[in-house]
Amino acid sequence: QLYRLVSMGAEYQLRDMVIDDPGLLGQTREIWLQAHSEAGSYLKGQVAADSDQADRKVKDQQVLWLDQLRAAGRTESRFNTTFFTAGDSREPEMAGIKVALYGSFFTLLVTFFIAFPIGVSAAVYLEEFAPRNRLTDLIEININNLAAVPSIVFGLLGLAVFINFFELPRSAPLVGGIVLSLMTLPTIIITSRAAIQSVSPSIREAALGVGASKLQTVFHHVLPVAMPGILTGSIIGMAQALGESAPLLMIGMVAFIMDAPTGITDPATVLPVQIYLWADSPERGFTEKTSAAIMVLMGFLIVMNALAIYLRKRFELK
């Protein structure tokens, strides 16, 4: 019961200290060790000591030891830095979001480099160069319909096509990025077309009037003016992709990953899926981890939306 007061990672902490400084052997030192999640819950007042011992994981003897340590000033409440520096773990106090952050970064990177150029190019073609006929009308209708398709359908598509047919690695940011790019494409195309439509016709007429070609008019005059709206729509689409979990669950990005990925083909998970996994865990300590991860995800979404507003205002001022 005494050993259950400290985290299972304490033995690795002591091992690393001895490896770094073998002279510690045979000496008496005072060091601080991370508490076990259940012991931490009691110290934070989340576990009632007067409740039945069978209803709590912190036993009476452990409660006595913890009270003695607290009375002697041997306990402190500190921020658990492993939350940002460690991968997933079965022990709540040792679990972190490092792998999820890396996985989210690589997944969004793939999503951006696929969805942005294809989406903007499609919007430019449909708005400026495509002939008005039944085929383009059908394409526009399908694009609008794709924007309303549930995200899990894209996950099923990724599972059937990219994993089962093309045999791409399961639980990899590459597959996740491709799936999210397909989901984000309609949003980018629609917002980019709206931005291009908002450009004043006088700009096109003036460029054509001084001898510019259709291509020069679009890329040298129309696109720079429409860029604030295009960037805003693209960033909002990326923020939507960052918060998605259903399509990624379908392609297997729910694996227990402890090591951070080094590329887009390494197994990884993403922040929304990590939140889902922790929320489904029965341990009390994962409740706090879930709340903290949600705050981090909300922070990223707020930053991305603020960036979209900032870029829009900056280009509009120019």
Helix (H), strand (E), coil (C) string for 129-194: HCCCCHHHHHHHHHHHHHCCCCHHHHHHHHHHHHHHHCCCCCCCHHHHHHHHHHHHHHHHHHHHHH
Average of per-residue pLDDT across 112-120? 95
Q: Is the pLDDT of residue 148 over 90?
A: no
Confidence of residue 184 (pLDDT cuts 50, 70, 90): very high
Q: Is the pLDDT of residue 46 over 80?
A: no
Q: Is the pLDDT of residue 23 over 90?
A: no
| Per-residue pLDDT, 74 | 79
CATH number listed for the domain at residues 98-317: 1.10.3720.10
Confidence of residue 185 (pLDDT cuts 50, 70, 90): very high
A 10 A CB-CB count for 14 gives 14
Average of per-residue pLDDT across 18-26? 82
Distances (CA, A) of 210 to 128, 144, 207, 232: 19, 36, 6, 31
| Residues making up the chain, counted from first to last | 318
| Per-residue pLDDT, 316 | 65
Which amino acid, 132?
A: R
Confidence of residue 1 (pLDDT cuts 50, 70, 90): low
Q: Is the pLDDT of residue 308 over 90?
A: no
Among 272, 254, 256, 255, CA closest to 91: 256
Q: What tens digit of pLDDT does each residue of 199-251 get?
A: 888 988 899 889 888 899 999 999 988 988 898 889 989 999 999 988 998 88
Which amino acid, 304?
A: M
Average of per-residue pLDDT across 302-314? 86
Confidence of residue 35 (pLDDT cuts 50, 70, 90): confident
Confidence of residue 3 (pLDDT cuts 50, 70, 90): low
Q: Quote the mean pLDDT of the chain.
A: 86
| Per-residue pLDDT, 296 | 95
What percent of the chain is modeled with pLDDT above 90? 38
Q: Angle 98-124/271-279 helices, nearest 10 degrees?
A: 130
Domain parsing of the chain, residue ranges = 3-78, 98-317
